[in-house]
Structure 1
Amino acid sequence: MIDRSVQTILQPALVFLKQGDLEQAHISLGRLLEQDLENPQVMYTLKGVSFWLDRVRYSQALADDFLRGEYIISQWKPFLDYIKKKGDFNEPIIYALKCSVFTIALRLYRSLLNGTEPVHNTAEIYRKTGLCYKALGDYETAIGCLRYAADLNTNSSAIPAELADAYALSGEVRLAKIFFREAFFKNASEIELCFLESEIINALVTKVANIGFTGEELLEWLPVYGTLDGVLNVKRELKALELGKLKQSIYMLENELRQKDVKNKKLLVPRLINYYFWLIDHYMNGTVEKIKIDEILLRIKLLDEKIYDRYIR
C-alpha cells in the first residue's frame, strides 16, 4: 500500500498514467524527485514509468500499429517479473501503470479497426482489443470484442480463456466455467496466464503451482485439477466431429506415450487425462455401456493413481 501522504504527492503522476500519458507522468515524477531524492515510492513508480517509456519509444520504430501493439502487450509479463524484483508489489502503482500500458495499446488496435486500410489478423486484433478493454475494466465491451474474435478464429484457446476471464470479472461465473473448460480442451499450452485476472482461475493456478508444477506443465495440469476441484464443472455435449477428433487425439497420445524415447511425457500425461475426462463425460451423457467408462477409468489409473482416486471419490 502507499502511505496516504505519499499517495497525495503521487496523485498527479498516477492520473497521467491512467490517461496513458507516460511522458507527463515522467515529468511529474522528476519534479517530485527534485524535492525528495530519497522517496522510495517515487523511485518505485519512476522505475516502472522508465521501463515503459523505453518500450514505447522502441515500438515507434516498428513498421505498423499492429506490430507496435503486439510488442507493447508482449512486454507486460516481463514488466511484472521486473517490477517484483524492485520491491513489494505496490497495487495502486501497478494498477496505474497497467492502465497506461493498455490504454496506449488500445489506441493502436483501435486505429487499425477504425482506419481505411484493409487489416490482416482481424481475429487477433479483436482479441487484443478485448484484452485491453478487460484490463481497463470495461468488461462488457471486452466480451463483445472477444466473442467476435472467437467467431473469427474457432481454433484459438487464448480467446476463450480471455473471454472466460472477462465473464468471471463481470460476475458471470457459469459462462466463465464453460469457456475456461473449452480453452483448456483446445490447447492449454497456448493460454497466457499473465493476462488472466479473475479469482476463479488464479486460485486454481496458485493451487496447481503449489503442487510443484510450472510453465507448460502447469498449464496442462490446470484442466485436470480444475475438473477434480469442481472449477470446470459446467459441461456441454460433444458434436459428432468433435468426438471423432477427440478419439483420434487420444489414440495418438496413447501411442506416443508407449514409445521408449517419448519426449514431453510430463506434458502428454495431463493432456491425455483431460481428454479422458471429456470422453467419460460424453459417455455418461449417452447410452454407452458402463464397461466402456470403466475401461477409461482404468487407463487413468495406470497413468496416475492419485488422480484416479480423487476422480472416483
Structure 2
Amino acid sequence: MAIEPVPGLLPQVYELLKSGELEQANRDLARLLQQDLENAEVLFALTGVTFWIDKLKRARESSTDFERGEYLVSQWRPFTAYIEKTGRIYEVGMYAIRQCVFTLALRFYQSLYREDGTAQEAELYRKIGLCYKSLGDYERALHLLEQAVNADRDSPAILAELGDCYALCGEMRLAKVYFREAFFQGANAVDLHFLESEIIRRLISQVQALGFSGQVLAEWLPVYGVLYGVLNVKRELRALEFGKLKQAIFALENEIKDASEQSRLVLVPRLINHYFWLIDHYINVNDDKTRINEVLLKIKLLDTDVYNRYTV
C-alpha cells in the first residue's frame, strides 16, 4: 500500500489539533517527520506541538480546572514569542495550534460553568468569552463577555475584551465606547496581547511606532486614540462619576509633583486621559469655557505636542 505524501497528511493533523487532540497530533507528526526529515512545515508544527505537550502536562498538575485553564492561556504569549524566534511561521499550522490551545483551555473553564443561570465569578465568564473569541465564535464570546460585564462593570480587562469582540462583530460604535471605558478604568489592567480587532491593533501599532512599549504604551493608547480620532464615541458622566473623576485628577496631580522620571512616564498619559474626560464633561454640560481653557493649559504644561494635536 502506497504511503500518502506528507503534504496530504498534514491537513489531517491540523484537524486533530483544531479539535484539541494534542497527543494524537504529536504522534502523527512524529510519523510524518520520519517520512520527510527535512519538511519545514512538519518541523514547525512539531516544534509547536512539543511546546504545548509540555505545557498541558504542567497544567494538569494544577489543583483546579480554573488554574489549568489559566496556565494554558498564560502560556500563549511566551509561545508566540518563542515561535517567532524559530524563523518562518506557517500560518495554517499556527492557526491550528491556536485552536488547539484555546479549545483545551475552554474545556477546563467550561467544566466550572453552570448553565442554569446562577451567577458566577466575572473572571470565569471573561475567560470563557476570551476562549470563544480566540476560536472565532464571536456570538458566544459576546454572550459570555456580556455576562462578565454584568457581574463586574468596572473591570478594564472585561471592558476591553467586550470592546474587542464588538469590533470583530462590526459593531464599531459599541467597540469604541468599551475600549475608551476600559483604558479609563485602568489601562494597566488591559492585556493588549489578546486584543485582535483591526481598530485596536492598528492603534497599538501606531503608538508603538512612537517608541512606547509595555505599560507606558497602554497608558498612551487612550490619549492617541482620541488624537487620532479612533476613540471618538463618548458618553455623559453621572454626577457620582464626575465627582470621582475630579478626585482622581486631584490625586494624580499631587502624585505627579514628586514622581520620579520613571513614574512620570506612566502618570503623564494617565492624567492627560483624565483631562480629556473632564473636558468632554464640560462640553456635554455646556459649562463655562474658562474651565475648559484651564484644563487645556494643564495639558499644555504636561505635553506641548499633545496639546497642539488636541487643539488643532
The TM-score, its normalising length taken from structure 1, stands at 0.95
Q: How does 1:94-243 map to 2 (within 5 A)?
A: 94-114=94-114, 122-243=121-242
8 Å contact from structure 1 (residues 208, 222) kept in 2: yes
Match in the other structure for 1:33: 33
- 8 Å contact kept, 1:134–1:142: yes
- For residue 113 of structure 1, give the secondary structure of its aligned residue in structure 2: coil
Mapped partners of 1:20, 1:72: distance in 2:
13
Q: Measure the CA separation in 2 of the matches of 1:134 and 1:309.
A: 38
1:269 maps to what in 2?
268
The equivalent of 1:17 in structure 2 is 17
- 1:152-179, Cα deviation, whole Å (9 max, x unpaired): 1122100010111111111111111110
Between the aligned partners of 1:298 and 1:127, the Cα distance in structure 2 is: 40
Q: What pairs with 1:71-110 in structure 2 (closer than 5 Å)?
A: 71-110=71-110
Deviation at 1:8, TM superposition (A): 3.3
Shift of 1:88: 2.4
Q: Is the 8 A contact 1:6 1:41 kept in 2?
A: no
Q: Is the 8 A contact 1:280 1:293 kept in 2?
A: yes
Q: Is the 8 A contact 1:168 1:200 kept in 2?
A: yes
How far apart are the structure 1 equivalents of 2:259 and 2:110?
51
- Structure 2: state its 5+ residue gaps: none
- Tell me the SS of whatever aligns to 1:212: coil
Q: C-alpha root-mean-square deviation of aligned residues, in Å?
A: 1.7
Distance 1:260 1:57 in 2: 45
Deviation at 1:22, TM superposition (A): 0.5
Moved more, 106-115 or 90-99: 106-115
| Local SS of the residue matching 2:200 | helix
- Take 1:180 and 1:35, find their aligned partners in 2: how far apart are those partners? 49
Alpha-carbon shift at residue 6 of structure 1 (Å): 6.5
Deviation at 1:259, TM superposition (A): 1.3
Between the aligned partners of 1:259 and 1:82, the Cα distance in structure 2 is 40
> Offset of 1:92 from its aligned partner?
1.4
Alpha-carbon offset, residue 115 of structure 1 = 8.8
Identity of matched residues, %: 54
How far residue 151 of structure 1 moved from its aligned partner, in angstroms, is: 1.1
**What is the CA-CA distance between 1:262 and the residue it aligns to?**
6.7
Cα distance in 2 for partners of 1:310, 1:36 equals: 57
8 Å Cα contact 2:6/2:32 also seen in 1 = no
Q: Partners in 1 of 2:304 and 2:276 — Cα distance? A: 14
Separation (CA, whole Å) in 2 of partners of 1:161 and 1:7? 40
Cα contact 2:223–2:272 (8 A) shared by 1: yes
Q: When the two structures are superposed, what TM-score results if normalisation uses the length of structure 2? A: 0.95
Following superposition, the deviation at residue 240 of structure 1 comes to 0.9
Give 1:286's aligned residue: 285
Give, in whole Å, the separation in 1 of the partners of 2:91 and 2:221.
26
Deviation of 1:245 (Å): 0.8
Contact 1:158 1:190 (8 Å CA) reproduced: yes
Structure 2 residue matching 1:238: 3-state secondary structure: coil
Shift of 1:287: 2.4
Output one character per residue of 1:22-50: Cα deviation in whole Å (capped at 9) or x when no partner.
01110110111010111111111101001
Which amino acid is 1:253 matched to?
L
Runs (5+) with no aligned partner, structure 1: none
Write the distance in 2 (CA, Å) between the matches of 1:206 and 1:251: 32
Provide the rounded CA distance (Å) in 2 between the counterparts of 1:232 and 1:305: 21
Alpha-carbon separation, structure 2, partners of 1:95 and 1:85: 17
Q: Quote how far apart the aligned CAs of 1:263 are.
A: 5.5
**How far off is 1:100 after superposition?**
0.3
Deviation at 1:68, TM superposition (A): 0.4
Q: Deviations over 1:78-137 (max 9, x none)?
A: 111111011123221111111000100111111101499x99x71111000000010111
Larger mean CA deviation between 90-99 and 129-138 belongs to: 90-99
